[in-house]
Structure 1
Amino acid sequence: MDHVERDLPTWLERIQQPQSPATGSLLWNDDQVWPKWPVSQMAWQGLISATDHMDLLNDSLSHSGVRPVSQFTLVRAAQFAAARSIWILAPEQPELRQKHALWVAYEDFRYLLYDRQELIKSALGRNLSPEQQAALLAEPQGLVDEAKDIARTKLGFQLGGREGEKVTSDTDIVGYAATLIDSEDGRAAAGINHKWRVNSGYAHGLGWPELLKPAEVFQTEDGKKFRRIVGDDEALAQGIGAAWLLTQRAFHLYAERSSAPAS
């Protein structure tokens, strides 16, 4: 945790005072594709989430020590949020950076639209008038439609629908980001991908991550045997290390892509 404790205060300060990309920078140019929902904002969204989860994890460790399961959920969230920012920022081709950011924005709008559609169908929306229902759907539907139009007219691909490109999975996004940590040594990427799977197992309430370590068995009075779940300092430290590497890389890429071009 030493490296996290060293970097976390800087990260927290940075997300409280976001900096717009310098005029003429790569990220500034990317932002012109859709100024209302710029590429930089989609990348910054991941940095905020990664940093906030790492900060809560640090608080949890300070007050409660290592817990058996719950802290892996925080690690997983930080790991994915940072990886998604890397997925947006890392490509050298501007069209790919813009495309990936548009995917993130589109997924946000699509989920917001779905949530409001389900709300209207539920008991909570029973008393809404047709006008109120239409008003609830108008904003997210408009954003979904606008994102699709930007994709088609400016970036040359189709978002959503049967004919549209499929969204990249969370696991593939983490895998992509992991390869950029150390391009000459595949062990770093393999380790990050392994910790992603382990963290995801814990976050989804699955038991298989516990099978990776020696069992501590508890026997009940009637003879039934249960695994005793205890905190694992080493496994958690490895997960934190993976999240820290990705978050550090994401902040570096944001600074690099948003820097003014050399005169």
Structure 2
Amino acid sequence: MTQRTTVTELVALDDETRERLEALILKIEELANFYCDAGPPMPGSALESDFKVLTTQTTVATIPVIGLNALDHLQMAARGVLRARQISAFSTFTLVRSAITAAGLGGWILAAETEKERQSRTLCVAYHEAKNNRTAARELVNNHAERDATPENEHYNARRASALSKIEQLNAQLDMIVADAVRIGVGDSPTAETIKKHIKEKPTDTEIIGVAAALVAPHAYYADFGAKSEIVLRWRTMSAHAHGLSWAARMSVVEATTDEGRQLSIWNPQGEDLLQGIQVAWDLLYGMTDRYIELMGRRPAAQDDVS
């Protein structure tokens, strides 16, 4: 709804948003401490089985990094708004979108219905991380030829040679990940179609987040359309803000007057929009963490709500 007020009144952070962001930071620190101190899985737990068959990457090595990634983005979003005492039109939502994406990825791994499916999703993430790293090195090598062995080219050629060595290492790592996938029965050979489908191809972010939504505890916020639809919708909205899409920007445009009485239109993102995105990220994070604790063989934790 378009409203007319002063610029000073518009950009000021409202008390409710400030208080909830301050409370969020404390919760983030608690959860970050958990991921830093969680330790190994309990003997006989579901996650301990990874160590018997996976030689490249385990769920226990993957989930804490994903969790801390999501928490770091949420913390920077909250602290940035509190320091500036206002919400930025684009960058704040970018951080929240990244938190939702990360928490969704962790939830996707842990929402697997079988041990093999969970392990294959862990390997899929590891494969695409290594592939991304290799692509960066390949682009450097493919776009820049080796130069004559002269003193002025020594640094250039050394960097290019290092990139070539990196490619070899990553090729070997990718082969080992595929070998792990064969070992757990994803396919009967490295060239099997099921290896391509479950390891070498990765679902879209929205597909991943939609699967992760199954771990989200019931909440009134999801009563109308269900957690999956609401969470994906919120992710798309955060993404639109992050990319500066016009339809998202227009959601935040209001008319105001300067102190001198001049009328103008400004971006004025609302605390409610930000908090909805944060709620989704937090719910995904908590669902992921609760399942992680369960699979680690530790006592499940009761959910806290930051809304």
Q: Same fold (TM over 0.5)?
A: yes
Cross-structure match for 1:37: 57
1:115 correspondence with 2:136: yes
Structure 2: runs of 5 or more not aligned: 1-19, 148-155, 257-263, 300-307
- Whole-Å Cα distance in 2 between the matches of residues 239 and 62 of structure 1? 16
Check 1:161–1:80 CA distance in 2 against 1; reply closer, same or farther (3 A cut).
farther
Closer, same or farther in 2 for the Cα pair 1:147/1:233, shift >3 Å?
same
1:197-242 Cα shifts (integer Å, max 9, x gaps): 00111222222213445x4358xxxxxxx95212221111111111
For 2:142, the aligned partner's letter is K
Whether the aligned pair in 2 keeps the contact of 1:24 and 1:260 (CA below 8 Å) is no
Alignment of 1:14-53 (within 5 A): 14-53=34-73
Alpha-carbon distance in 1 for matches of 2:112, 2:242: 29
State the Cα distance separating 1:37 from its structure 2 match. 1.4
Counterpart pick for 2:245 among 195, 206, 209: 206
Normalising by structure 1, we get a TM-score of 0.85
Letter in 2 for 1:49: N
The code of the aligned residue for 1:203 comes to: A
TM-score, normalising length: structure 2? 0.73
Greater shift in the superposed pair: 189-198 or 126-135: 126-135
Give the corresponding residue for 2:283. 245
Instruction: Please name the residue that 2:90 is paired with.
Output: 69
CA positional deviation for 1:149: 1.9
Task: Output the CA distance in 2 between the equivalents of 1:21 and 1:60.
Answer: 35
Structure 2 counterpart of 1:57, from 57, 61, 77 = 77
Change (3 A) 1:13 1:94: same
What SS does the corresponding residue of 1:216 show, helix, strand or coil? strand
* 8 A contact 1:80–1:174 mirrored in 2: yes
Report whether the alignment pairs 1:197 with 2:227. no
Distance across 1 between alignment mates of 2:40 and 2:251: 44
Q: Given the alignment, which residue of 203, 227, 241 partners 1:168?
A: 203
Secondary structure at the aligned position of 1:112 is classed as helix
Q: CA RMSD, aligned part only?
A: 3.0
Of 82, 102, 115 in structure 2, the residue corresponding to residue 81 of structure 1 is 102
CA distance in 2, matches of 1:190, 1:159: 36
Q: Does the alignment pair 1:232 with 2:252?
A: no
C-alpha distance in 2 between matches for 1:95 and 1:162: 16
Report the CA distance shift for 1:169/1:161 in structure 2 as closer, same or farther (over 3 A).
farther
Could you tell me which amino acid in structure 1 is paired with residue 36 of structure 2? Q
Could you say which residue in structure 2 is the equivalent of 1:94?
Answer: 115
Larger of the two Rg values belongs to structure: 2
The residue identity in structure 2 corresponding to 1:19 is G
**Structure 1: runs of 5+ lacking an equivalent:** 219-225
Query: CA–CA distance in 1 between the matches of 2:229 and 2:123?
Result: 28
Q: Which amino acid aligns with 1:152?
A: V
Which residue matches 2:305? Answer: none
Task: Specify the alignment match of 2:169 in structure 1.
Answer: 139
Matched, 1:156 2:186: yes
Instruction: Give aligned pairs, total.
Output: 255
Other-structure match for 1:223: none
Cα deviation code 1:167-212 (max 9, x no counterpart): 1111101111123324795433322111100011122222221344
AA at the equivalent of 2:165:
A
Q: CA separation in 1, counterparts of 2:127 and 2:190? A: 8
- 1:138 match: secondary structure: helix
Change (3 A) 1:61 1:167: same
CA distance in 1, matches of 2:229, 2:112: 21
1:47-77 Cα shifts (integer Å, max 9, x gaps): 1101111111121122013222211111011
Please, which moves more after superposition, 111-120 or 8-17? Answer: 8-17
Contact 1:43 1:84 in 2 (8 A): no
Aligned-pair identity (%) = 24
